[in-house]
């Protein structure tokens, strides 16, 4: 199969602004190449693919990015800036798509989904968020009526945000397991990883650490500075160890030393890459029973699921975290979320999409 992959217009690959999509894209490319497929990637200028993905052809595009939908009002209209990066990425992608079997879009935005109705090469979409925009959800509903196979979701609970999709295609997610080393350290610090933005609920994890009289190590891009400093000011000085945004290699080395990852999203997290990355290092995870993490974490086996927004429940699970076998955590990822497993699911799905056009 020859696949043209359109990246996110929110940030270049490696910037961290694109969130989990950046890592998902690279592990998917890796999986697709290992299965012998040909992949062209269209991404913003400065993007880098993993070294192991050098067989993929990377096309870099300039332009003005989009505002991420989770930071706009649900009923906001679509805005496309002058010199639009998204439009340029599509123009490039569609121009080479003529020699391809399928375009695989990873940007959560209106334009590529709308193009599906007006282009003869199939355009398939990995929907990377819950419903964050009425205009996009309504468009997905319209396109779905004509092309029922063209949308895939990371988790069942994410797909529930699109109730008009009767039998959602769930592809989970995949990780290049060689990039994560198992660590047996059970006595390490508390960890939190993610974009520092209100939908991620960092304050609840800091609350737990503070109650335990501990500091918490926080990795990730500070996307919302006002939000970050508000959290800092509401706890005693030094409660948070800001560890910065690290590349996967360094992140996994540090994260693997921790005794638990506390994951506290306030929104319907589509998947939650950081949950699986922690598990891959042998780090159990405590999360709210909400969104993707509620389908990933095996309660009592690879971590614990607390009632949504119940910080005391998070705290009580941290106190018994040593009951979780770190080996179980790694094994779950090996059996359920490797890049091979993920790429196979994606290929099966894309074959259905391609057949629909025949």
Q: Residue 113's closest CA among 128, 100, 99, 95? A: 128
**Residue ranges in contact with ligand UDP by CB under 6 A:** 16, 19-20, 23, 193-195, 219-220, 245-246, 248, 251, 271-274, 277
Cβ 47 to ligand UDP shortest distance, Å: 14
Kindly tell me which of 149 and 175 has the beta carbon lying closer to ligand UDP: 175
Cβ 274 to ligand UDP shortest distance, Å: 4
* Parallel, antiparallel or unpaired: strands 303-306 and 2-6: unpaired
300 DSSP 8-state letter: T
Half-sphere exposure of 261 (CA within 13 A, CB side): 32
Structure tokens that stand for 311 in this block: 């910080």
Kindly tell me which of 16 and 168 has the beta carbon lying closer to ligand UDP: 16
Kindly tell me which of 121 and 252 has the beta carbon lying closer to ligand UDP: 252
Kindly tell me which of 93 and 293 has the beta carbon lying closer to ligand UDP: 293
Kindly tell me which of 15 and 351 has the beta carbon lying closer to ligand UDP: 15
Cβ 198 to ligand UDP shortest distance, Å: 12
Cβ 293 to ligand UDP shortest distance, Å: 9
* CA–CA distance, 18 with 328 (Å, rounded to integer): 30
338 DSSP 8-state letter: B
Kindly tell me which of 200 and 259 has the beta carbon lying closer to ligand UDP: 200
H or E element at residue 108: none
Cβ 2 to ligand UDP shortest distance, Å: 26
CA distances from 23 to 50, 176, 197, 274 (A): 10, 9, 19, 10
Cβ neighbours, 10 Å, residue 244 = 12
* CA–CA distance, 35 with 347 (Å, rounded to integer): 9
Cβ 19 to ligand UDP shortest distance, Å: 3
């Amino acid at each position: 199969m020859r696949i043209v992959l359109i990246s996110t217009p929110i940030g270049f690959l490696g910037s961290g602004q694109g969130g989990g999509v950046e890592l998902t894209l690279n592990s998917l490319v890796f999986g697709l190449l290992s299965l012998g497929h040909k992949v062209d990637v269209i991404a913003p200028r400065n993007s880098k693919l993993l070294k192991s993905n050098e067989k993929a052809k990377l096309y870099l595009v300039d332009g003005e990015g989009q505002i991420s939908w989770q930071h706009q009002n649900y009923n906001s209209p679509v805005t496309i800036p002058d010199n639009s990066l998204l439009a340029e990425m599509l123009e490039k992608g569609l121009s080479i798509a003529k020699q391809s079997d399928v375009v695989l879009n990873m940007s959560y935005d209106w334009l590529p989904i709308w193009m599906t109705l007006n282009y003869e090469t199939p355009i398939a979409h990995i929907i990377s968020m819950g419903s964050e925009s009425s205009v996009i959800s309504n468009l997905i509903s319209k396109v779905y009526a004509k092309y029922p196979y063209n949308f895939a979701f990371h988790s069942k609970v994410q797909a529930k945000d699109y109730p008009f999709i009767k039998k959602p295609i769930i592809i989970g997610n995949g990780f290049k397991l060689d990039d994560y080393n198992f660590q047996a350290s059970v006595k390490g610090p508390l960890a939190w990883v993610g974009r520092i933005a209100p939908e991620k609920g960092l304050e609840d994890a800091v609350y737990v650490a503070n109650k335990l009289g501990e500091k918490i190590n926080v990795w990730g891009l500070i996307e919302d500075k006002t939000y970050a400093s508000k959290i800092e000011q509401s706890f005693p000085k030094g409660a948070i160890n800001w560890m910065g945004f690290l590349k996967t290699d360094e992140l996994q080395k540090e994260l693997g030393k921790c005794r638990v990852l506390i994951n506290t999203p306030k929104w319907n997290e589509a998947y939650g890459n950081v949950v699986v990355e922690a598990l891959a290092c042998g780090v159990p995870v405590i999360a709210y029973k909400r969104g993707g993490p509620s389908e990933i974490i095996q309660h009592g086996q690879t971590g614990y699921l607390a009632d949504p927004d119940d910080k005391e429940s998070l705290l009580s699970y941290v106190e018994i975290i040593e009951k979780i076998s770190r080996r179980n955590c790694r094994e779950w990822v090996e059996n359920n979320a490797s890049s091979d497993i993920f790429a196979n699911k994606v290929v099966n799905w894309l074959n259905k999409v391609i057949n629909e056009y025949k």
